[in-house]
Amino acid sequence: MKQAGGVSRYTENLSLTPQIIVLDTGGQYCHLIARKVRELGVYAEVRAPETPAAALKAVRGIIISGGPASVYEENSPSVDPALFSMSVPVLGICYGQHLMAHLLGGRVQKGDQGEYGLAYLDVIAPKGPLRGISGKQRVWMSHRDTTVAVPPGFEVLAQTSTCPVAAMGDERRKLFGLQFHPEVAHTQPGGRVLANFLFDICGCVEDWDPRQRIPAIEEQIRQAAAGRKVFFFVSGGVDSTVAFDLCLRALGPERVHGAYVDTGLMREGETELVRTNFAKLGARNFRIVDASAEFLTSLAGVVEPEVKRQIIGEHFVAIQEQILQSGHYTDSDWVLGQGTIYPDTIESGGTAKADKIKTHHNRVAGIQKLIESGRIVEPLSQFYKDEVREIGRQLEIPEEMLSRHPFPGPALAIRCLCSREETPVRRAHDGYLLPVRSVGVQGDSRTYRAAFALPYLPSDWQLPTELINRHSEINRVVAVVATHTPVGGLRSFAATITEERLERLRRVDAAVQRLSQASGFDRTIWQFPVILLPVGTLDRPDSVVLRPVDSVDGMTAEAVRMPDALLEHICRELLETEGVSTVFYDLTHKPPATIEWE
């Protein structure tokens, strides 16, 4: 987009004034809303919910995010009621709709059952944000509370089979509420809904393109470094690679050093791949540090996922300090660089009112100390994965580096599930409750619940969501797709992270990735985690979970069914692996389950 004389509006002013403010009431998708608004070409920023209305009079529109609280509870997040009497349009999403209804005279109460994941919206009145949208639409829900009576002046715009007020609006005052989440990739009309609000209702103009932010990012790097050198501990993934390259461009190769810590928890061939890729970037000061023995020792006997993440994070910081000190990097002329992106801080409860879903390896206490002391540079902390890839393409980083599937910082440790005791699988709900638990996200809150196994692969992939909505003790549904032993004869075993189990996980993961890549399936999905469960029989004590998902940014994800021929090939090879009893297929979207099991 060019102005007269060929000057881009995107670079004319590197410090933009937001047209849209998103008020953060604690939703896991709060920053995703701002990101989706930016994707539509409109600059948006996030503010605290208690921001006074007087401070928001100059913006073109306000969006109130979702959140884990209930509006009828004491001390639940709220907003300045004066927002609703200004001339600025307001859109409430999920908890934001509840808050709007509650403050303006409607009624909100706990629903008979929650809605988590896919739902089908019936549009009653195609007005306001729903203008031009009709019939039945696929949307994404994550709520237990529901609006049962709209405020005076509002009308119901849409509903679902279990939600009587899935959208409401007062066109005269330009106040609208949505129970569903238009910001997530899997809400079919989400882009149209947000565009209607931004351009038709708020009158916004396009002023944002993340690719044009590179000069501003580089300037921010120079300001944060303040003449100092930057030392990176890279993972080899997209985020740390792009962040490292940005620092190389901003500061020059002599001021940017890097190290890759081999934790012993890496995938097969990962370390050599990282060595090769960073040589391609032109990194002159880069080395590999083998710390596998220390990490495995620190994780001995650990079972709980949050404890695993905390140990890995804190131990990683300890090794960082050792390396920094041994290389004389602890002097005041050095700072730490990281490839942190938005989801890393959001799911860790990084927004003021958010519920912590899981601790990310770069948001544990040791890293927080570095942040507080000003010894950190995070060039990508305001961007999402798809934006990071676009920035990388603009930097001309090789596509094979940018297209890699995301891989978690704690690596195979959180894909190698552990257990304290031997417990049999239990029959329940026309299937089986597995004696293992996994992390989920339901109603913007963390859950840690049992996984439910169907003895067959269903044709209706909406069934898992329906089961989870009906049964509060589960947050994940898998299907048995191949087994040496009938699922009713399986049991969990006391198991922790060991060299033997990690090597088993590496073998099955490598087989799955190889077959997925050979078939081209890997290019149709966003990520393909492979999980090892301590569930099986005495001679085959572990099982494997296949978890292919489609996503845009990891904030939401849809379980994907692979071609039958590929699934048969994968199952045949995995069941030939020593120690593997059963192959499960994870059918659960996010929400209600997280992408990773831990």
Backbone phi, psi, residue 193, to 5°: -60, -50
Q: How far apart are CA 250 and CA 276, in angstroms?
A: 22
Q: Active-site residue among 39, 183, 387, 390?
A: 183
Bridge-based pairing of strands 580-586 and 542-546 is parallel
In the numeric block, which tokens belong to residue 512? 């799955």
30 included as an active-site residue: no
DSSP 405: P
Residue 186 designated active-site: no
Active-site residue, from 181, 186, 257, 589: 181
Residues 6+ apart with CB under 8 A from 578: 504
Distances 479 to 65, 209, 433 between C-alpha atoms, Å: 34, 42, 12
CB 451 within 8 A of CB 438: yes
Three-state SS sequence of 67-107? CCCCCCCCCCCCCCHHHHHCCCCEEEECHHHHHHHHHCCCE
CA distance 400 to 396: 11
204 included as an active-site residue: no
Residues 6+ apart with CB under 8 A from 99: 25, 64, 71, 77, 78, 79, 92
> From CA 472, how far away is CA 469, in angstroms rounded?
7
Question: Encoding tokens for residue 279?
Answer: 């040589």
Residues with Cβ within 8 Å of 197's Cβ and at least 6 positions away in sequence, in order, are: 61, 63, 89, 91, 128, 129, 176
Choice among 30, 31, 39, 94 that is catalytic:
94
Is residue 16 within 8 A of residue 43, CB to CB? The reply is yes
- As annotated, the active-site residues are 94, 181, 183
